[in-house]
């Protein structure tokens, strides 16, 4: 069974500090993608970063980096130099059945989210 | 370029009514999927369409249905609304399945 687990319901971080949001996943499919999304109070899900299961290097996108440890099945998001605008819900997601338009079993699996509050 | 557009943004319906939500994907995107988000259940997959065909369906009752048109726009319909259907409904589109999904701002449905 596919599963995404985020164990931190809420996190606080001082402005300009770095913060790590935890995510572990479970799947038996060798091909999968891991995503992080940010959801501000407006509701829109904003794509932050992606890591493919076969990618050798950790993904980075500006202040966001994904600490991918395949053996541990973890995909933690690291936000460096936190800003007040980073306060939001953060969701880890996994897509299984990757890039296969003929595979009818693929979908996103989302974690329960982590609420991040950046303190001035 | 324009993002994923969901209409309406907010909706209030009475129990027993039916509702139709609309999603216009990014131009060129052929995959559209729908998700329900509630405080209790989190984000749950409803269904996915690719080139007008439903390719996958989540574990929701038959009251939830959808379709995709030839221009890739998608609609989601919920019949016989229940109080528990109150949620944020998110639509996401992608050029190909499984990569580069962009979400819309969602439709917040309240059933009273």
Residue B15 to chain A, least CA–CA distance (Å): 24
Nearest to A99 among B48, B55, B99 (CB): B99
DSSP state of A86: G
pLDDT above 90: percentage of residues in chain A: 73
Check pLDDT > 80 for residue A100: no
- CA B76 to chain CA mean position, Å: 5
Check pLDDT > 50 for residue A102: no
A111 φ/ψ angles, rounded to the nearest 5 degrees: -80, 180
| Mutation to test the B interface, candidates A34, A45, A96, A113, most B Cβ within 10 Å | A45
* Chain segment B19-44, per-residue pLDDT in tens: 999 999 999 999 999 999 998 888 99
* Chain segment B93-109, per-residue pLDDT in tens: 988 766 678 999 999 99
Nearest to A33 among B43, B98, B108 (CB): B98
Burial A89-119 (b: 16+ CB within 10 A, else e): bbbbbbbbbbeeeebbebbbbbbbbbebebe
* Chain segment B45-65, per-residue pLDDT in tens: 999 998 899 988 888 999 999
Cβ-based contacts of A109 with chain B (< 8 Å)? 45
Subunit contact A110:B92, Cβ cutoff 8 A? no
């Amino acid at each position: 069974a596919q599963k995404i687990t985020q164990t931190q319901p809420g996190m606080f971080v001082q402005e300009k500090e770095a913060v790590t949001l935890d995510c572990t996943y479970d799947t038996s499919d060798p091909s999968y993608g891991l995503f992080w999304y940010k959801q501000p109070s407006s509701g829109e899900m904003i794509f932050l970063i992606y890591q493919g299961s076969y990618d050798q290097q950790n993904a980075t996108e500006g202040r966001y980096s994904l600490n991918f440890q395949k053996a541990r099945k973890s995909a933690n998001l690291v936000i460096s130099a936190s800003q007040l605008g980073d306060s939001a819900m953060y969701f880890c997601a996994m897509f299984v059945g990757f890039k296969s338009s003929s595979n009818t079993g693929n979908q996103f699996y989302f974690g329960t989210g982590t609420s991040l509050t950046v303190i001035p | 370029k324009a993002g994923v557009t969901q209409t309406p943004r907010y909706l209030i319906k009475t129990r027993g009514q039916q509702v139709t939500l609309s999603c216009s994907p990014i131009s060129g995107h052929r995959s559209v999927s729908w998700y329900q988000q509630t405080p209790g259940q989190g984000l749950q997959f409803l269904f996915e369409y690719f080139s007008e065909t439903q390719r996958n369906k989540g574990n929701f009752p038959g009251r939830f249905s959808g379709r995709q048109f030839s221009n890739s726009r998608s609609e989601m319909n919920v019949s016989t609304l229940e109080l528990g259907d109150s949620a944020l409904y998110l639509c996401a589109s992608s050029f190909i399945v499984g990569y580069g999904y962009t979400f819309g701002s969602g439709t917040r449905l309240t059933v009273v």
